Chains A and B, each alone.
Chain A
Amino acid sequence: MNINATLISQALIFAVFVYICYKYIWPPILSTMEERENKMAAGLEAAKQADDSLEEAKLTYEKELKEAKEEAANIVEKANNRSSQILNDAKVKAEAEAEKIIESGSKKLENEANKTREELKQQLSSIVVETASKIIDEEIDEKKHENIIKKAAEEI
């Protein structure tokens, strides 16, 4: 257990191993670690940014959704208004049309009735004349008694 040349040898061996570590072991490990550290920092930064933009997108999305809903409600309301208006218009139009039809029908009917009445009047006058001439057995001048016949026909 004396101190001897072992001490010097060990100091040299020590130096050799420290040199090997200094030259070949330490740098690659450290550079890998540093590189990863940088990458992770960048990744974290990117994640934070993504988070922020997600938040922003969420806000935009909510805003736009709200707007769209409002618009849709507007459109529905407008459509409702418009449809009721159209309905109203159609109703009014139809009523007018119906009235018109009824009016023209009743007019036609009246005309027809008048015409018939006129015809009947004429026929009746000739029947009356014929009947009367038969009764009095005497020719009556139609022209002379036109007034009387007309009066009679009007009284019918």
Chain B
Amino acid sequence: MAKELTSKSYIDHHLTNLTCGKTESVGWTCDHNYYDEMGFMAFHVDSITISILLGVAFVALFKLIKLNPADQKPTRMQNFVEMCVEFVNENIKSIFGSTDNKLIGPLALTVLIWVFFMNLMDLIPVDFLPELTKQVSYASGIVDDPNDAYFKFVPTTDPNITLGMALGVFILTIFYSIKIKGFGGFIAELTLHPFGKFAIPFNFALEIMQLLAKPLSLGLRLFGNLYAGEMIFILIALLMFFQSAVFGVLGLGLHLLWALFHILVVSLQAFIFMVLTILYLSMAHETGDH
């Protein structure tokens, strides 16, 4: 039987992931009623699926285009792809100076395009995909109540996704720090600054905080911006609860305005994530004193 639709249940529904996980009582399940029981062994299937699909879209876009050889006129898509690569390269050059690191370019490009695609999902009207999954899963008998079918389709509004990517960047940062400065150099950097060797515990406390703050802020910044944007779309959509044409038109106008403004946030946050990724990696490559 269907629950009553209130503004609270509407918002809750929009903010809940389709989660599958392992429980003590029923084993593997995707039933949201067991969400609390899943604990850490839970997967946000919607976020993961959409992010993989968008990653595949990125790979397809950049791999399947026809690359004309250098002595021919480049195709239009080739121009676009090369523009992206050029843009990434310029940013790397301005932050890194020159580097022989072969990974930073592909890493930055992946981050830029993939995050941009994931953010872009925010511009799909808030109810399209959740309603669609509701109806499809109810009609196909997967759930008894359409309101039990959850689907959150903007991966970057899921902190797991953004922090997962930040974790990847963090691991790379540590890897390059140790690779460039040696393990001793890495430890020295953590303990001998800023106050010299007589304050090692204090130095370490400061530096470890600084070290950990980087990936945390990297992931949470993206999450926060996109979550807030999504939230405002949902709140604007709430105007429909007034059941009046005036509010309907008002909601439409606000949606349009916020979507237009959000284009800026979408691309800007993807750009910031990329720049910070490059920046943190370039810091890992720095060998001099701070």
Contact = CB atoms under 8 A, between A and B. Distances in A.
A pairs with B: yes
Interface of A: 1-11, 13-15, 17-18, 20-22, 24-26, 28-30, 32-33, 35-36, 38-39
Interface of B: 15-17, 19, 21, 38-44, 47-48, 51-52, 55, 58-59, 62-63, 67-71, 74, 78, 81-82, 85-86, 89, 102-103, 105-107, 109-110, 114, 158-161, 163-165, 167-168, 171
A6 B109 contact: no
Nearest to B109: A21
Contacts, number: 124
A84 B7 CA distance: 119
Contact of A10 (B51, B63, B102): B51
Contacts of B103: 18, 22
Given A8-B164, A11-B165, A33-B85, A17 B47 contact: no
A21 B110 contact: yes
B48 A10 contact: yes
A13 to B, nearest CB: 6
A15 B168 contact: yes
A29 B85 contact: yes
B71 A14 contact: no
Chain B interface, DSSP helix/strand/loop, else mixed: helix
B40 A1 contact: no
B107 A5 contact: no
Given A6-B158, A22-B106, A26-B105, A33 B82 contact: yes
B85 A26 contact: yes
Chain A interface, DSSP helix/strand/loop, else mixed: helix
Contacts of A4: 19, 21, 38-44, 160
B158 A1 contact: yes
A10 B63 CA distance: 22
A10 B21 CA distance: 15
A11 B17 contact: no
A29 B82 contact: yes
Contacts of B59: 17, 20-21, 24-25
A15 B163 CA distance: 13
Contacts of A22: 102-103, 106-107
A35 B69 CA distance: 8
Closest 6 CB pairs of A and B: A10-B164, A6-B160, A35-B70, A22-B106, A36-B70, A21-B106
5 contacts: A1-B16, A6-B161, A11-B168, A21-B106, A39-B71
A39 B59 CA distance: 28
Given A8-B164, A11-B167, A32 B47 contact: no
B63 A25 contact: yes
B41 A28 contact: no
A14 B165 CA distance: 6
Contacts of B106: 18, 21-22, 25-26
B62 A7 contact: no
Given A6-B158, A7-B163, A32-B70, 20 more contacts: A3-B40, A3-B160, A5-B21, A6-B44, A6-B160, A6-B161, A8-B164, A10-B161, A10-B164, A17-B59, A18-B168, A21-B106, A22-B102, A22-B106, A24-B63, A25-B106, A26-B105, A26-B109, A30-B85, A32-B82
Interface centre among B43, B63, B103, B106 (most CB of A within 10 A): B106
B41 to A, nearest CB: 6
Contacts of B39: 4
